[in-house]
Structure 1
Amino acid sequence: MSPAGPDAHPDAHPDPLLFRTRPGNRRRLTPAAQAEVDRLAAAGEQSAWLSPLAYNLTISHSHRFVWYRVAKVATRTIRHHCETHGVSMDVDHAMRIRYPLASFADYFTFAFVRDPLDRFVSAWHDKVVDHNYYDFDTATHERMQRVEEFARWAAGQDLSAVPGTDQHLTLQSRMIDLNRVDFVGRLETFDRDFGEVCERIGAPAVPTAPKNQTAPGGRDRQVSQELRELVARMYARDYQLFGYPPPA
């Protein structure tokens, strides 16, 4: 495939060590890294040098991994483990980043997912019941204290749109580059699966429970049939791809 820009070159892949987020701003790339991404993008959409879609990424050059972060799925736990065990996060908390594919072709890539119903209820508790994250007016926020009301509102969003949909509600399958991910762990078997990730990246595997998790199988699974049906429709692709049984 021919490069589309006059200055493009088939081997013009950036040094992966250039790809970092800014000190003091863990969400944004450094100017040099952003300039390189912009240069590759300008070279032509057909070059296949950048991922076609944008993802929320954490990248370590020292431990050679790319982590596709899925909000509400042990992100604080994984990040805390890295921080406390000397795992550098050169791209710390980048949001909606198209990344240079060839530069990370030999990095280990992973993600974690969870039952979509548990994830949705967890997002509702955190972002609606405990906070007014979506900035609803007073009357609407009061109405959204019923999870079914919030689910009806969420069902009106395009949950595959990134950017566009809030990361806490986006389809998990959209938050992961499914064509390039090496390992997808589950929150329900977190100790075992994260232990495997730690072994692959050369980090200590210390048993740990996910932080700030809405417990699966507890009171939050005692939900109405309406909620089950709404979540099953909204997250049908996640249920299908990740093998979770749809809520019945």
Structure 2
Amino acid sequence: MIVSHKHRFIFVAVPKTGTHSVREALREHLGPDDLEQVRLFVEKKFPFPELARIGHGHISFEQVRPFLGEEAFTSYFKFAFVRNPFDRFVSYCAFATSREGSFARDPKGVMRHFLFKTPPHHHMVFQPQHGFLVGKDGALLADQIGRVEEMQRSYDGICARIGIPSKALGRANSSRRGAYRDYYDQELIDGVARLYARDLELFGYDF
């Protein structure tokens, strides 16, 4: 997460949505009093002990809200990026098994394991995206949602809203694999659709 008092914005870094490249681009414009919490590639923590103890930078709007005050939280421009849940789930499976390489050997077996046998609901990368972006009443708190599928265009639009110059985004922490649709059969499609039903509805995605 990044909170910029200089440019009056809050950026929520939803896991597996290209957040590292966005962070790198935004850092060039941060002021001395701006805040960031991140762990991968570089480690920074918020000056709020309760949030700093989380140990990573994937903090939700609702979690940071009490520490900023209602006036700042309401008036700051709030944004994030989302990704097609079917694509994101494949990315999670490849990421979670990268050390042993089991996804490369048996992708559907890995996907079935996480969907039906031992769903890792505690893992932030597995959790639905909307949980990072909605309030207690379930309403979306973000003023603008960018899409991984049109990353550069989305970032350009966000920069225009913030009032900073855009730049070409790099690629960080990405993996090599085929098109996500190639990994699915109907059982897996139905399983992901059930698990991420709210994401599909709220962000307008389908298979």
- The higher relative CO (CA closer than 8 Å, separation ≥ 6) is in 2
Partner of 1:90: 35
Q: Residue deviations 1:35-57, cap 9 Å, x none?
A: xxxxxxxxxxxxxxxxxxxxxx3
Shift of 1:98: 4.1
Note if contact 1:58-1:90 (Cα within 8 Å) is conserved in structure 2.
Answer: yes
Partner of 2:112: 152
Structure 1 length-normalised TM = 0.61
Is 1:114 the equivalent of 2:83?
A: yes
Shift of 1:168: 0.9
Q: Which moved more, 1:61-70 or 1:218-227?
A: 218-227
Structure 2 length-normalised TM = 0.72
Shift of 1:113: 0.4
Matches of 2:132 and 2:161, distance apart in 1: 21
Shift of 1:72: 0.5
Shift of 1:81: 0.6
Partner of 1:238: 199
Partner of 1:188: 149
Q: Residue deviations 1:40-85, cap 9 Å, x none?
A: xxxxxxxxxxxxxxxxx321111111112110001111111122x2
- State how 1:30-45 maps to structure 2 within 5 Å: none
The residue identity in structure 2 corresponding to 1:66 is I
Between structures 1 and 2, the one with greater strand share: 1
Q: Does the C-alpha gap of structure 1 residues 144 and 169 become closer, same or farther in structure 2, counting only changes over 3 Å?
A: farther
**Paired residue secondary structure (2:146):** strand
Q: Residue deviations 1:129-167, cap 9 Å, x none?
A: x236xxxxxxxx8589533333334335474xxxxx211
The residue identity in structure 2 corresponding to 1:221 is R
Query: Among 135, 160, 166, which residue is 1:205 paired with?
Result: 166
Matches of 2:147 and 2:103, distance apart in 1: 32
Partner of 1:20: none
Matches of 1:181 and 1:124, distance apart in 2: 27
- State how 1:24-173 maps to structure 2 within 5 Å: 57-83=1-27, 85-88=28-31, 89-93=34-38, 94-96=57-59, 97-100=63-66, 101-102=69-70, 103-128=72-97, 130-131=98-99, 142=102, 146-155=106-115, 156-157=118-119, 159=121, 165-173=122-130
Q: Which moved more, 1:222-231 or 1:189-198?
A: 222-231
**Paired residue secondary structure (1:180):** coil
**Paired residue secondary structure (1:131):** coil
Matches of 2:173 and 2:120, distance apart in 1: 26
The residue identity in structure 1 corresponding to 2:80 is A
**Paired residue secondary structure (2:158):** helix
**Paired residue secondary structure (1:154):** helix
Shift of 1:232: 1.6
- Alignment: residue pair count: 174
State the 4+ residue runs in structure 1 displaced beyond 6 angstroms: none
Identity, % of aligned positions:
30
Partner of 2:47: none
Query: Among 131, 142, 150, which residue is 1:174 paired with?
Result: 131
Q: Does the C-alpha gap of structure 1 residues 145 and 64 become closer, same or farther in structure 2, counting only changes over 3 Å?
A: farther
The residue identity in structure 2 corresponding to 1:151 is M
Between structures 1 and 2, the one with greater helix share: 2
Matches of 1:79 and 1:236, distance apart in 2: 28
Which structure would you say has the larger Rg? 1
